[in-house]
Amino acid sequence: MQANSPFFRRNVSIQGVMLKVLAALLPAIAVYVWFFGTAILIQIALTSIAALAGEALILSLRDKPVAIFLSDGSALVTAWLIALTFPPIAPWWLTVTATLIAIIVVKHLYGGLGQNPFNPAMVAFCLMIVAYPQMMSQWPAVGFTDFAAQVAAIFGERHIDALVMATPLDALRTGLHTPEAHATVAGIFGAGASFGNIGGKGWEWIAGGYLLGGLWLMQQRVISWRQPVAFLGTLMLIAGIASLAAPDRFAGPLFHALTGGAMLGAFFITTDPITGATTPRGKLIFAAGVAALVWIIRTFGAYPDGIAFATLLMNICVPLIDMATQPPVFGHKED
């Protein structure tokens, strides 16, 4: 029997927190399905099964209570984030391998739940985009929702060249980086079929879904306001200054905020408690750092989006940020 106080506790659990995070992803998933078809659901199912299977396997190898840890929901969060960051028509073995690596190597070889210094989904993304750059950049065109074709792309022979389309970030980077192109941001936006109102056809609405879910998580006090505000604020500030200075060379702040993985990063990646900074000031610094790196990678880097790389780079800095930003303790504020 419990010997020491406190003898009662608030009714909260890790499982509850994780389930809320999953629930907050639902609006974006619904929009995803609307614009890009059911492939994303297949990917979510694949990554979920792979994550749970991998987690169960390694938990039993590590002699940990399988049922308790399997039901904590953390593996599912990793699985869903992988599904949502990978191209929905990526071959099944790609997402499954990525998920197994995330769970087994990045999470459990570092000690399991709560111990991993790097965001598992982001490591999986980086690894795969380095290993399979082509497959990781084959994104479906808006309206490519044919179920049979998607299933074939995931499980069968991949004849998908007609179905894929450069994402807005891709189009922008290619256009601006090709030396002979002399393209301008406005020119690329006008020419590209994938550009919607602000951040890319379909993608801007998915970003809206993440925003909605993220705001709900904030209201539920699962996540702090600090990382999303610092992330989006920094990203838009840098993008704003750059695009004001050279509108032909740099895309504007709203485009950056509503395209690629920005919203997902703002509300679901930088807010990961395990791999992010924990102090109030540290959260601001961490998310602002990710945002700055995202803009740099998007603008000058070799890859179109930079959420994953930026997150990992800032993950490395977390112990330092936390150490340097410990808030003053009661009674020691004037020290």
Question: Which residues contact other proteins (rule: CB under 8 A)?
Answer: 1-10, 12-14, 16-17, 65, 68-69, 72, 74, 111-115, 224, 273-274, 278-279, 322, 326-333
User: Could you tell me the smallest distance in angstroms from the CB atom of residue 9 to other proteins?
Assistant: 5
Measured from the CB atom, the residue of 272 and 305 that comes closer to other proteins is 272
Distance CA 144, CA 154 (A): 14
User: Could you tell me the smallest distance in angstroms from the CB atom of residue 328 to other proteins?
Assistant: 7
DSSP symbol at 272: -
User: Could you tell me the smallest distance in angstroms from the CB atom of residue 13 to other proteins?
Assistant: 5
Measured from the CB atom, the residue of 24 and 154 that comes closer to other proteins is 24
Distance CA 27, CA 263 (A): 13
Cβ partners under 8 Å of residue 332, min gap 6:
none
Q: Which long-range contacts (CB under 8 A, 24 or more apart) does 20-23 make?
A: 20/217, 20/220, 20/222, 21/73, 21/77, 21/217, 21/222, 21/268, 22/73, 22/76, 22/77, 22/80, 23/213, 23/216
User: Could you tell me the smallest distance in angstroms from the CB atom of residue 134 to other proteins?
Assistant: 36
Greatest extent of the chain over all pairs of C-alpha atoms, in Å: 75
Tokens 């087994």, located at residue = 104
Measured from the CB atom, the residue of 226 and 256 that comes closer to other proteins is 226
User: Could you tell me the smallest distance in angstroms from the CB atom of residue 124 to other proteins?
Assistant: 19
Measured from the CB atom, the residue of 173 and 283 that comes closer to other proteins is 283
Distance CA 139, CA 133 (A): 12
Measured from the CB atom, the residue of 179 and 333 that comes closer to other proteins is 333
Measured from the CB atom, the residue of 157 and 333 that comes closer to other proteins is 333
Distance CA 56, CA 52 (A): 6
User: Could you tell me the smallest distance in angstroms from the CB atom of residue 224 to other proteins?
Assistant: 8
